[in-house]
Amino acid sequence: MKRFHRISAVLLAILLLLSLPAAWAAAPESHSTTVLFTHDLHSHFLPQADGEGGESGGYARLKTALDRERRAHPDALTVDGGDFSIGSLIQTLYTTQGAELRTMGAMGYDAAAVGNHEFDHTGTGFASMLNAAADSGDPVPALLMANYKPANDNPDKLDIQRSMAAYGVQDYMLLERGGVTYGLFGLMGVDSHACAPSSGFTLGDMASNAQRCVDALKAEGAQFIICLSHSGTSEKRKLSEDERLAEAVSGIDLIVSGHTHSTLTEPIVVGDTYIVSAGPYCQNLGSITLTWTEGGDKTLADYHLTPIDETLPEDREIGLLVDQWKRLVGGTYLGRYGLTYDQVLTRTDFDLPTPESGVQSGSALGELVADSFLWAARNLEADAPDLFDVMITVTADGVLRAPLAKGEITASMAFDVLSMGVGSDGTSGFPLVGVYLTGRELKAVAEVDASVTPLMPAAQLYMAGLDYSFNTHRMFFNRVTDAQLYWRMDYTYDAEVTNPDGTPGEPGGNSAVFPSEIEDDRLYRVVTGMYSAQMLGAVEGKSFGLLSLEPKMADGSPVTDFEACILRDANGNEIKEWYALAAYLQSFGEEGLPDRYAKPGGDGRKHVSRSWNPLELVTNLNWIGAAALLVLAAAIALAVFLVRWLLAAKRRRRYGGGRRNRW
């Protein structure tokens, strides 16, 4: 019997040993993946002051951070979520040199998505950039774009397609690294497409194209799927396009999310999909490490953001490449302005930060820019109007791309503030345009700032020539309580002038302010950047049809072509937004910016009230406010009636209802 048990034990042990290879084979293999990521780099080749005494960004420092991560993770992938262009003077080489892609190639990027700002030079500019990068022979990252194609009615469609093919732009790609086959694809988001009105491309559905790419990549052997999405996330779930994408599409392991400039200190997890963002302007390098099995299990092993700041040494090779781009900019684009890259224009003894998104307030930077437009129209335009002609200038939150830090202000810093767009001359920078609005429409412009900004923060406006007040608690589209025109005499620095009241002005400028009432039916000249002017036509849609602005020519006829409204100098050159600012700054010379720009919230020309004072809430009502007040009064009356009816009904029930017989 004992012998039988021994034989049985031996046979059982043999069976167990024989079954182990099968069990090992059946167990899912475990992998580890590290992805290094950026997005919204916006041509930040060089460090910028961070407003706190330090510096942020710069590709030579970014390369140092990348090398450190790669030493720790030799099989790491390096990717970008789009908007790698438009944001510094080096972008002026975009169409001729493809400097952004060539520098990313030198830093070892594997792939990148395409963002809306890649189309600031239109679809043909995008094609020229692709040709320049491909023709250079330098290493460049793969470009992935699955749901964005040249429109059928685009007259340049074939040329753009040829350039995309020559570069190798594709929907998706396979990449083998460390024994793992990765599948990568790129997407353009709904909002980012709306921010590229001159692209000449059409947007395909995000979810269906993403699922198509996932299915195709898996069929071709991809084990881990990465989406490079220029769509973004938001605290408001309905606006968080990449979260909705993760909910709608199965099989995406990781989304690198760009466009909304989000900085996620922890990944967002939606189902089995991780969503990551590192912040804009080369502020951070993101790194995520996931352990996973082919059965679908994933575990977050590490996630961190490395600040790209002055504590990092600069990589010599990338530093030399950036210096090469700077020299090219100085010899080409800046030469026509008589400026150099690091030329000091003036100085400031205080910081001028960019406006805080979503917070309705004045802004010293915004008001400085608006003042510079007015100064340029007075001093640079070939047919400059009379000094005392009424003119209003406008800029918007969405075009103010960089702050001005305490200290010296250089030509490149002025460009950084207003770096968006391209003119009709094909060169970087939106030009100034002059259109006409009625006084009634001017008041509507102030109402746009007061009422549309909460719905669209980038639409917050900063003006010169118009003072106005509004209360954020009043009825939408009836928030403005007061608006009036003014002359500010400090726009002239080169001659003695006579003030409107007949008193002598002061040589070198006068800071007196002279208000006047707005005449509803009079035409007033409004100067702004091309992008902001084109957006005036969108006001009606954003205000649900309650506000309407129609830019006009001097004779009152509607503007049909904004290029006919471009401000030009005596030589016929476009007056760019950024150059208006640079020239205005230069006019201050060694004395530096005056103290009126020292208050971050502005000098009071835009007064934002958050008072609940009843009188402030109901004075100066327009028809919208009056109608809302009548509806509110009717609702209150109805509520009072219902309460009284219910109380009466309750009393009737309590006492049996109707008249009672006293007998």
Per-residue pLDDT tens digits for 531-583: 888 877 666 666 566 677 889 999 999 999 999 999 999 999 999 999 999 99
According to the model, what pLDDT value does residue 4 have? 47
- Helix, strand, or coil here: 640? helix
Per-residue pLDDT tens digits for 55-105: 999 999 999 999 999 999 999 999 999 999 999 999 999 999 999 999 999
CA trace torsion 127, 129, 130, 136 (10° rounding): 140
pLDDT more than 90, % of the chain: 72
More confident: 150 or 20: 150
Residues 113, 115, 120, 123, CA torsion sign: positive
Confidence class for position 298, pLDDT limits 50, 70, 90: very high
- Got the DSSP string for 362-387? --HHHHHHHHHHHHHHHHTSTTPPPT
User: Which tokens in the block code for residue 565?
Assistant: 């409204």
Return d(Cα 540, Cα 239) in angstroms, integer: 21
**Which of these ranges, 39-48, 202-211, 595-604, 627-636, has the smallest mean pLDDT?**
627-636
End-to-end CA distance of the chain: 108
Work out the burial of residue 598: count CB atoms within 10 Å of its CB; fewer than 13 is exposed, 13-18 middle, 19 or more buried. middle
- Asked if the model's pLDDT at residue 343 lies above 60, the reply is yes
Q: Which helix (H) or strand (E) holds 181?
A: strand 180-188
**Which of these ranges, 455-459, 511-515, 555-559, has the smallest mean pLDDT?**
511-515
Return d(Cα 161, Cα 127) in angstroms, integer: 8
pLDDT more than 70, % of the chain: 86
Side-chain-facing half-sphere of 443: CA atoms under 13 Å: 18
pTM comes to 0.83
| Average of per-residue pLDDT across 448-475 | 90
- Asked if the model's pLDDT at residue 154 lies above 60, the reply is yes
Cα→Cα distances 609→350, 450, 516, 612, Å: 26, 11, 22, 9
**Which of these ranges, 6-10, 204-208, 649-653, has the smallest mean pLDDT?**
6-10
| Average of per-residue pLDDT across 107-128 | 96
- Asked if the model's pLDDT at residue 342 lies above 80, the reply is yes
**CB 631 within 8 Å of CB 638:** no
Work out the burial of residue 629: count CB atoms within 10 Å of its CB; fewer than 13 is exposed, 13-18 middle, 19 or more buried. middle
Question: Comparing C-alpha atoms, which of 271, 267, 280 is closest to residue 230?
Answer: 280
Confidence class for position 178, pLDDT limits 50, 70, 90: very high
Return d(Cα 515, Cα 510) in angstroms, integer: 15
DSSP class of 212: H
CB atoms within 10 A of CB 89: 28
Cβ neighbours for 323, distance < 8 A, ≥ 6 positions apart: none
Per-residue pLDDT tens digits for 301-326: 999 999 999 999 999 999 999 999 99
- Averaged confidence pLDDT in the chain: 88
Confidence class for position 28, pLDDT limits 50, 70, 90: low
User: Which tokens in the block code for residue 368?
Assistant: 């400085």
**Which of these ranges, 203-207, 224-228, 334-338, 533-537, has the smallest mean pLDDT?**
533-537
Return d(Cα 275, Cα 229) in angstroms, integer: 10
- Got the DSSP string for 571-606? TS-B-BHHHHHHHHHHHTGGG-S-GGG--TT-SSSE
Return d(Cα 549, Cα 259) in angstroms, integer: 29
According to the model, what pLDDT value does residue 662 have? 35
Confidence class for position 454, pLDDT limits 50, 70, 90: confident
According to the model, what pLDDT value does residue 50 have? 82
- Asked if the model's pLDDT at residue 125 lies above 60, the reply is yes
Confidence class for position 658, pLDDT limits 50, 70, 90: very low
